[in-house]
Amino acid sequence: MRDLVEAAGIFVLLIGNLGSHHSTLNVELFRGFALADPIAPFVVINDQDSEQAWSFTLLHELAHIWLGQTGVSGGRPSSAIETLCNDVAGRILLPQVELASEPSLIGAPLDRVVARITDIASTRQVSYSMVAYKLYREGVIDQDMWTSVTSVFRTQWLKSKAAQRDRAREADGGPNYYVVRRHKLGNRLVDLAKRMLADGALSPSKAAAILGVKPSNVYSLMNGAA
C-alpha cells in the first residue's frame, strides 16, 4: 500500500520520535499527520503504533491529502473532517457490505464482543481498534461498548509492546542501521535525494539534513537503497 501511495507522488515516512528512542512520541499525541502540499505532499505515520494500525493511518492521512486538508490524527475524531477521514479509511479496509450481515452486539457481554472483533481483525489483517470503530459506526455496538473494548485492546497492545522490547534487549545484533533508516524514510524520498545529489541540485550536507543522517553517512544510505 505504501508503494502505491508513493507511486502516486506522495512521500510516506515512519517517524515515532524526535531523533532518538529517548524522545518517543506517544500514539495518543499523534498516530499520523498529513501535509497537503500541492508540490510535495507528505504523510507521516507514528511507527510506535501497532503495525496493523499503519494501513488505517495511511489511508486516513491520504484522505486528508485528497481533501487538500493538512491535519493531525490522534485519539478520537474531534471534527467532521477527522470523522470523514476515518470513515474513508474504514470503508477501504473493511467495506460496509462485509458488516451488513453482522448481528447486533448491543447488550452482549464484553468477552463476546472482544472475541468477535478479534476474529474479524485476524481474518482481515487489520487493527482491533479499527474494527471496533467500524462496528460502532455501523451501530453493531454502542458507544459505551466501543469505549470498553478499545481500552481492552489498548491494554493488550501495551503488554505486547513491552514484551517485544524485552525480547529485543535479549536478542543479539539487529537489522542494519541503513536498512532501518531507509524503511523509515521510504524509497521515494531516498531516491529523490539520490537523483538531486547526482544532478548537483543538493550538496551532501543538505541531503543529510533531508534524510536525517550525518553527511558522512549519506552515500552509504543511498547506495543501499532499493
Instruction: Identify the pLDDT of residue 169.
Output: 66
Burial of 142 (0-12, 13-18, 19+ CB in 10 A): middle
What pLDDT sits at residue 117?
A: 95
How far is the C-alpha of 67 from the C-alpha of 216, rounded, in Å? 40
Q: How far apart are CA 127 and CA 117, in angstroms?
A: 9
* CATH number of the domain residue 44 falls in: 3.30.2010
Query: Are 83 and 12 within one domain?
Result: yes
Average pLDDT over residues 84-94: 91
Domain end: 70, 88, 106, which one?
88
Q: Is the pLDDT of residue 66 over 90?
A: yes
- Per-residue pLDDT, 168: 64
Q: Is the pLDDT of residue 13 over 80?
A: yes
Last residue of a domain, one of 88, 118, 143: 88
81 and 125 together in one domain? no
Clarify whether residues 158 and 193 are in a common domain.
Answer: no
Q: Which range (60-74, 168-182, 185-199) has the least confidence? A: 168-182
Average pLDDT, the chain: 88
Asked whether residue 226 carries a pLDDT value surpassing 60, the answer given is: no
Mean pLDDT of 151-169: 80
Residues 150, 211 within the same domain? no
Same domain for 101 and 153? yes
- Among 55-59, 134-138, 165-169, the range scoring the smallest mean pLDDT is 165-169
The amino acid sitting at 202 is L
What b/e readout covers 46-84, taking b as 16+ CB neighbours within 10 angstroms? bbbbbebbbbbbbbbbbbbbeeeeebebbeebeeeebeb
The mean pLDDT value for 156-183 works out to 78
Q: How many domains does the chain have?
A: 3
Same domain assignment for residues 111 and 185: no
- Whether the per-residue pLDDT at 153 is higher than 70: the answer is yes
> How many CB atoms are located within 10 Å of the residue 223 CB?
9
Q: Is the pLDDT confidence value at 210 over 60?
A: yes
Residues 99 and 82 grouped into a single domain = no
Q: Within this chain, do residues 51 and 123 fall inside the same structural domain, yes or no?
A: no
Model confidence at 225: pLDDT above 60: no
Question: Is residue 82 located within the same domain as residue 8?
Answer: yes
| Angstrom distances, CA of residue 95 to CA of 23, 34, 131 | 37, 23, 11
Of 15-29, 66-80, 193-207, 210-224, the range with the highest mean pLDDT is 193-207
Domain housing 9: 1-88
pLDDT tens track for 111-142: 999 999 999 999 888 889 889 999 998 999 99
**Residue 55 in this model has a pLDDT that exceeds 60:** yes
Is pLDDT above 90 for 143?
yes
The pLDDT score that the predictor gives to residue 19 is: 67
Q: Of 49, 71, 88, which closes a domain? A: 88
pLDDT at 172: 61
* Rounded-to-integer distance, Cα 104 and Cα 139, Å: 8
Using the predicted structure, report yes or no on whether residue 64 has a pLDDT greater than 50. Answer: yes
Specify whether 78 is located in the same domain as 100.
no
- Residue 174, pLDDT above cutoff 70: no
Tell me which amino acid residue 179 is.
V
- Which stretches within 94-217 are classed as H helix? 110-124, 128-137, 143-170, 177-185, 187-198, 204-211
Which residues have a Cβ under 8 Å from the Cβ of 51 and sit 6 or more positions away? none
Question: Does 122 share its domain with 39?
Answer: no
